Structure 1
Amino acid sequence: MPTQNDPRDLPPGLRPAWSDAPRPRRGPKPSHTVAAIVAAAVELADEEGLAAASLPNIAASLGLTTNALYRYVGSKDELVVLLADAGFGPPPADLGAAGDWRATVRAWTHAALERYRSRPWLLDVPFRGGAVTPHRLRWTELLLTALDGAGLSDVDALGCARLVTDFARTAAERQRALDDPHSADAPEQAEELRAFLQPLLADRGYPRLAALAAAGRYPAATTVEFGLDRVLDGIAGLLTGSRR
C-alpha cells in the first residue's frame, strides 16, 4: 500500500493555492473564502506595496479580527505564496499564438516584464525555487509547449524555461532600479557619474572602462533586448547541437 506524504511536509500555501476551501476549523461557518482574503491582500499590495498586505491590514479591510484570518490562511508565509500567485495571475490568453518558438519566448518574456512593471511588489516576494502554484505553472506550461515544439527534450526544455523565467525577473529588478532617479544607470545620474569616474578610471588602471566612459557608454544600462537575444541565441545553439 503506497505511503501518503504528510501534508505538513508541503511548502506553505501550496495546498490552499490549489483549493479555495477554508482551513478545517471548529466553530461557525466561515463568512469569507480564501480567494476573498487573497483579493484583499492584492488590493492592499497594489495600493501601498507588499508590506501593506499584512494580516492586520487585510483583516481590517474585511471587517475581521486578525485571529479570524487564521480560519482561512495558516500563516503569513502561506498568505504570501497565495498573494504572489494571484498577483502574477494567468498569462495573456493569446500568448501561445505568437508564432515560432523564438517569437513565443520573446512575447512571453515581455508579458512577464509587463506583469512585474504593473505590480512591482511581486519583486519583493522572496524567491523560493521553481513555480508550484497554478498561475505560475500556467506560464511555465506555455514556455514548455513552445520549447517542446522546437524539438528540445523535456529536461532541456525545463532548464531553458527556468533560464527564461530567471532572466525575466532579473531584467524586471534591473528596470525597477533604473527607474529610481538615484540609480547609477539612471539618465539623471549617468552624466554626472561619467564626468566623475572617467578621469579616475583612466588614472588608476581601468583603461577599457575609461574608454567606454569617454565614449559616453559607461555607466549605461544593457537593454532588455540585448540580454534576451543572448538567451534566445543560447537556446538556438542548444537546439542546433541536439540535432547533430
Structure 2
Amino acid sequence: MDDAEIELLPPGTALAWGHAPAPRRGPKPGYSLDQIVDAAIAQADAEGYAALSMPSIAKRLGITANALYRYLSSKEELLVLVAEAAWGPPPKPSSGDWRAAVTAWARALLERSRRHPWLIDLPVRRAPSTPNLLGWLENFLEGMSGSGLGTQDVMGCAVLVDGWVRSTASLLRDVNASPPEQVRALSGFLGPHLQRRGYTRVAAVVSGEAYSEEGIEDADIEFGLGRILDGIEMLIARR
C-alpha cells in the first residue's frame, strides 16, 4: 500500500503492523514508540483508564504533551497501541474438543483483563485490526473448527463469549473492590431490615454463603461460562 492508502486506515492500525511514518523534522526522538506504550500501560495500571491522557503520560516520561505528539498523531492512536500491547498475544490453542478450547480461550482473556482491569474500559469502535487482537480471533476460530458450525455462527459465538468475558471482568473488578469488613457490616445491617420487609428469600441469600466476603468467586464465574457453552452445544446439535 502507498502512503495515501495507509492514511485511510483506522488510527494506530499501520503502526501496530510496523508501518512507521516518515521521520518528522526536529530533534531526534528521545523515546521509542514501545517505551511510550509501556509508560501508558504503567500509568493505567497505577491510576486506571481515566489516567490515560496525553499530558499524564508525557509527565511520566518527563516530556511535554506537545512533544508526545511527535510520536503519535492522536490519543485514539495511542489507545489502539495500548490495547494491542496490554491484551498481548493469545495463548497457544488448547488441544481437545471445541468446548475445552473455548473454555481455555475465555479464561485466558479473563486473566488478561484481571491483570489490567482498565482494559475493559477502552472503547471498542471497530472489529479487531491489529496483530495480537486478530491472533485472539484466529485462536477462537481454530478452537471451533471441529464444531461443525458455519463461519457466521462461529463469529456469533466469539462475540458472545467475548462479551461475557468483558461483563464478568467488569463485575469482578467492581464487586470485589469492596473491603471484607464493609461486606460484613452491610450483611449485618441488611439482615433485620430484610426480615421486617418480608424479603425472607433475599435475607437467606445475604446471610448465607452466596453473599461472601470474598466477593464473586471462581465457581460463580464458571457457572456463567458453562451455561453459555451449553447453549452453543445446543446450537451445534440443531445445526
TM bucket, shorter chain:
0.7 to 0.9
TM-aligned CA distance change 1:16 to 1:6, over 3 Å: closer
Which residue number corresponds to residue 149 of structure 1?
A: 146
Instruction: Please give the per-residue CA displacement for 1:155-195, whole angstroms capped at 9, x wherever unaligned.
Output: 1111101111111111111111233125xxxx544444334
2:230 aligned partner: 233
- Aligned residues of 2:101 and 2:144 also touching (Cα < 8 A): no
Which structure's relative contact order is higher, taking Cα pairs within 8 Å and 6+ residues apart?
2
1:143 Cα deviation from its structure 2 partner? 0.8
Task: Measure the CA separation in 2 of the matches of 1:30 and 1:210.
Answer: 62
Alignment of 1:1-244 (within 5 A): 7=7, 10-22=9-21, 25-27=24-26, 30=29, 32-92=31-91, 95-182=92-179, 187-204=180-197, 206-213=199-206, 215-218=208-211, 221=216, 223-242=220-239
Task: For 2:164 and 2:30, locate their aligned partners in 1 and report how far apart those are by CA, in whole Å.
Answer: 41
1:41 is paired with a residue whose SS is helix
Q: How many residues matched?
A: 232
Residue identity matched to 2:79:
V
TM-score, normalization: structure 1?
A: 0.79
* SS of aligned partner of 2:144: helix
> Structure 1: which 5+ runs fail to align?
none
Displacement, 1:97? Answer: 2.9
TM-score (norm 2): 0.80
Alpha-carbon separation, structure 2, partners of 1:28 and 1:38: 20
How far apart are 1:211 and its partner, in Å? 4.4
SS of structure 2 residue aligned to 1:122: helix
Runs of 4+ in 1 over 6 A off after TM superposition: none
State how far apart, in whole Å, the 1-side matches of 2:63 and 2:186 are. 51
The answer to whether the 8 A contact 2:72-2:78 is kept is yes
C-alpha offsets along residues 87-120 of structure 1, whole Å, 9 cap, x if unaligned?
111123xx30342211111111111122122222
| Alpha carbons of structure 1 residues 173 and 23: separation in structure 2 relative to 1, 3 Å | farther
CA distance in 1, matches of 2:58, 2:160: 38
- Separation of aligned partners in 2, 1:190 and 1:58: 36
Helix, strand or coil at the partner of 1:96: coil
Percent of counterpart pairs with the same letter?
A: 48
Rate the CA distance shift 1:46–1:199 in 2: closer, same or farther, 3 A.
Answer: closer
* SS of corresponding position for 1:181: coil
